[in-house]
Amino acid sequence: MQQVYRFGPAPEHPARHLFVFLHASGADARSMIPTAFKYQGRFPSAALVVPSGFARYGKDINRQQWFSTSGLTDDNRMDRISAILPRVEQLIRREQTNHRVPSERTVLIGYSQGGTVALEAVKAFPELAGAVVAYSARFARLPQPESRMHSRIHLVHGGYDSVVSRVYAERAARVLSGLHVPVTLDIIEELGHALTHEAICRGSLRLLQGIYERRRATLH
């Protein structure tokens, strides 16, 4: 059974945003809770949802992944992700209904494999979320010229990431910009494949700036 942790906003705040946190392969939902709380410090009116992955990681019952990495190649990566995306959509739609938060105020925040799942989810379902913050992640398949993406995309990557090269993030930023998708890219030069306090602060700042810019655009 999938474990899902839920944390409401500060008592004096109704839920205005829904943040869904997707962990890395080989981790678990609890690994993203500190990140979730740091985000809530900047967004006190956000409801937090922190689910575990759909599959066990190897034989360890305490570690999960969203899709299997056994025998994973560039040729089969997209197929494996496509197979789980309906479940990802169902999870997020359910939480939007439970918290009474619309898709445009839903944010997917993912690290490594979780970031890849978040990116592919909003590519497959353009109305699913208003924004994605993807740490040390990559698209399984870059958006094509006919792709419709309505989410703002914030990419944060380590300059010395030896697991997922920064090249993937740089390439994604160029493609998204060419499709007129609002995108930011932050390369943290001294960082490897890790979700650090600096990276979290950078991603949450970009998200805050994006929300402000979108709100300001609706006033004109």
What are the residue numbers of the active site?
112, 161, 193
What's the CA gap between 166 and 159, in Å, rounded?
A: 6
Euclidean distance between the first and final Cα of the chain, in Å? 47
> In this structure, which long-range contacts are made by residues 124-131, counting pairs with CB atoms below 8 Å and at least 24 apart in sequence?
124/82, 124/85, 124/89, 125/85, 125/89, 126/150, 126/151, 127/103, 128/89, 128/92, 128/93, 128/103, 129/20, 129/92, 129/103, 130/103, 130/104, 130/105, 130/106, 130/214, 131/107, 131/207, 131/210, 131/211
Determine the Cα–Cα distance for residues 103 and 131; give it in Å rounded to an integer: 9
- Identify the bridge partners of residue 155 per DSSP, sorted by sequence position: 134, 185
- Between CA 108 and CA 153 the distance in angstroms is 10
